[in-house]
Chain A
Amino acid sequence: DTEVTQTPKHLVMGMTNKKSLKCEQHMGHRAMYWYKQKAKKPPELMFVYSYEKLSINESVPSRFSPECPNSSLLNLHLHALQPEDSALYLCASSGTGLYGYTFGSGTRLTVV
């Protein structure tokens, strides 16, 4: 299995909702990432988990809450988002030395 699977593919949520994005990989990668990508822009790093511990938080607002339940799963909990948070959210994973840095196909999030 050489894929990173993200669910759901599309999500529409209101500003008072709580929702979660899920990411799963079975490549044995020990680093997992969340990126945010706005239209016609490159991906921006949000969080990095290394060996199931949060190692990098790129000053992301607290309305985004990451969670790594185990080495194969990565969640992003969303609460009280703003319309400007609408974007493509990408999950990625990597092994040692950036061999096999793999992206998922993303979740298209719309906040209304």
Chain B
Amino acid sequence: AQSVTQLDSQVPVFEEAPVELRCNYSSSVSVYLFWYVQYPNQGLQLLLKYLSGSTLVKGINGFEAEFNKSQTSFHLRKPSVHISDTAEYFCAVSPMDSSYKLIFGSGTRLLVRP
């Protein structure tokens, strides 16, 4: 079985400051890793994904994430946030032996203040 933990339910940050959203996972098999963003009253948009290869993954809107296998983490970072980055961010994993399943963390609300 798999589980995803996003310890921070909300992260307030000032505009142009850096931010890190934390994600840890647990799985008995190898997994693919994803970050999704959800703006109010909208669906989920894929920010980035780690399938294999380089552990540093760059995504859309200036976001990046680093896969750390030993710590089973996949933290999301952005060096300078904008007001428009205010949204809900979900980390998700999919077991490599069952690619139809996507297991989400509980989400982190990023609140960017002017």
Interface set of A (CB-CB < 8 Å, partner B) = 4, 6, 31, 33, 40-43, 45, 48, 50, 55-56, 90, 92, 94, 97-98, 101-106, 108
Contact = CB atoms under 8 A, between A and B. Distances in A.
Given A42-B104, A43-B104, A105 B99 contact: no
B100 to A, nearest CB: 5
Interface string B11-50: 0000000000000000000001010100001111110010
B43 to A, nearest CB: 4
Contact of A97 (B43, B99, B104, B106): B99
Interface of B: 32, 34, 36, 41-46, 49, 51, 90, 94, 99-102, 104-107
A48 B99 CA distance: 11
A55 to B, nearest CB: 7
A41 B94 CA distance: 18
Contacts of A92: 44
A106 B42 contact: yes
Residue among B90, B100, B101, B107 with the highest chain A CB neighbour number at 10 A: B100
Contacts of A45: 101-102
A36 B1 CA distance: 21
Given A56-B100, A97-B99, A102 B106 contact: no
